[in-house]
């Protein structure tokens, strides 16, 4: 029985990636080494986040108990930057926490460019809501000196993307371009074990996920779509609203249960709120690899070509058929103009 097999034949993330690598005989194992450093960072952050609740008592990261302690998102960022640099497989890092891109010193340089949000949704830590690390990986465009052009590539050029969600369990979801797989941390082993092989998002879902508090500022197509979710005209049941306000948690639910997650543009923020490189692209990559789609209101999200490393974009991602309805509403609006 499959479950028994895994129970004794532990498919760890390391083994899984090495299996993947064996499909590319010319591969020198660089990606496996890079990923193992990302996984190390996630294990460390998982351990800190789980203690965050205790921090008030024992003054761990994120809380001040007299002397200044680093905030958890700053600490997480330092852990990931140091882990990625020490892998000697990266040349540029873009972090949500750093205004400027980090160019790795030449003696420690590799071919990969990693864009990441070390602790997305960190404002939710104090109330125990799930938060996460989100990352995307590009190969540098061509040899020679790394430049910003190596990270200002469309999302479709990513070779891998994933997130690690720190919630009731620590779940690592990864795609290297051939489907999506989920791994759960077994704290007793300190290993991520394959628990969600070959994740596929349902073609249509019963959930919509958006911050309804912004409804006053939505454009026509978004307002029309949400209205349709609440008051369907075809006699079908209304969709349920689920909004956690932590992108990793909302996207993880969408990936597993189906439905659609929206962070639309609005009058106050014409490009929405979420960042292209390390929120929109990695989540869009995963959703497409799981059979869904992701749209910006104008185009396929992965076709966007970023001009700045922290630029934002509206995002509508999830079940293929649900996003198709949103695309049709924006197309109809386009025709009117």
**Residue 20 or residue 250: which is nearer to ligand P6P going by CB?**
250
Q: Is 245 in the site for ligand P6P (CB under 6 A)?
A: yes
CB contact burial 156-172 (16+ within 10 A = b; e otherwise) = eebebbbbbbbbeebbb
Q: Which of these ranges, 48-56, 57-65, 118-126, 288-296, lies near ligand P6P under the rule CB under 6 A?
A: 118-126
Q: Which residue has the tokens 């709120």?
A: 273
* Stretch in the footprint of ligand P6P (CB under 6 A) among 17-25, 28-36, 242-250, 314-322: 242-250
Minimum distance, C-beta of residue 253 to ligand P6P, in the bound complex (Å): 12
Query: Among 38, 45, 247, 283, which residue sits at the site for ligand P6P (rule: CB under 6 A)?
Result: 247
Alpha helices in the chain (DSSP H): 2-8, 13-21, 30-58, 72-86, 220-230, 247-257, 281-289, 320-336
Q: Does 212 bind ligand P6P (CB under 6 A)?
A: no
21-29, 190-198, 227-235, 244-252 -> range binding ligand P6P (CB under 6 A) = 244-252
> How many angstroms separate the CA atoms of 181 and 15, rounded?
13
Q: According to CB under 6 A, which one of 110, 118, 121, 146 is a site residue for ligand P6P?
A: 121
**Using CB under 6 A, which of the segments 135-143, 220-228, 243-251, 293-301 binds ligand P6P?**
243-251
Q: How far is the CB of 175 from ligand P6P (least distance, A)?
A: 19
Q: Match 């989540």 to its residue by tokens.
A: 283
Q: Of 123, 169, 178, 240, which one interacts with ligand P6P (CB under 6 A)? A: 123
- In sequence order, the 6+-apart residues with CB closer than 8 A to the CB of 265 are 219, 222, 271, 272, 297, 314
HSE of 75, CA atoms in CB hemisphere, 13 A: 18
Contact between 96 and ligand P6P per CB under 6 A: no
CA-based diameter of the chain, in Å? 64
Contacts to ligand P6P by CB under 6 A: 120-121, 123, 211, 245-247, 250, 273
């Amino acid at each position: 029985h499959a479950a028994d097999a895994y129970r004794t034949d532990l498919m760890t993330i390391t083994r899984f990636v090495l299996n993947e690598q064996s499909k590319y005989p010319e591969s020198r194992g660089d990606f496996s080494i890079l990923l193992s450093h990302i996984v190390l960072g996630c294990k460390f952050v998982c351990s800190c986040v789980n203690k965050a609740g205790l921090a008030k008592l024992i003054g761990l990261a994120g809380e001040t108990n007299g002397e200044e302690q680093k905030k958890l998102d700053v600490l997480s960022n330092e852990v990931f930057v140091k882990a990625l640099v020490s892998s000697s497989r990266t040349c540029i890092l873009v972090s949500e926490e750093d205004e400027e891109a980090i160019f790795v010193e030449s003696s420690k340089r590799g071919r990969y460019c990693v864009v990441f949000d070390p602790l997305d949704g960190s404002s939710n830590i104090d109330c125990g809501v799930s938060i996460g690390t989100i990352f995307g990986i590009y190969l540098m465009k061509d040899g020679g000196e790394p430049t910003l052009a190596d990270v200002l590539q469309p999302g479709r050029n990513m070779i891998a993307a994933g997130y690690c969600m720190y919630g009731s369990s620590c779940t690592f979801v990864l795609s290297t371009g051939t489907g999506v797989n989920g791994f759960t941390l077994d704290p007793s082993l300190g290993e991520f074990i394959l628990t969600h092989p070959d994740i596929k998002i349902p073609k249509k879902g019963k959930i919509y996920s958006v911050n309804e508090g912004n409804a006053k500022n939505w454009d026509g197509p978004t307002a029309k779509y949400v209205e349709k979710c609440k008051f369907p005209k075809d006699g079908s049941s209304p969709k349920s609203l689920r909004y956690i306000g932590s992108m990793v948690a909302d996207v993880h639910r969408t990936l597993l249960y189906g439905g659609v997650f929206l962070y639309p543009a609005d009058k106050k923020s014409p490009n929405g709120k979420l960042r292209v490189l390390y929120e929109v692209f990695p989540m869009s990559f995963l959703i497409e690899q799981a059979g869904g789609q992701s749209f910006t209101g104008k185009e396929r999200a992965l076709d966007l070509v970023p001009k700045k490393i922290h630029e934002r974009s509206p995002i509508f991602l999830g079940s293929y058929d649900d996003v198709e309805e949103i695309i049709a509403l924006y197309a109809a609006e386009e025709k009117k103009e």
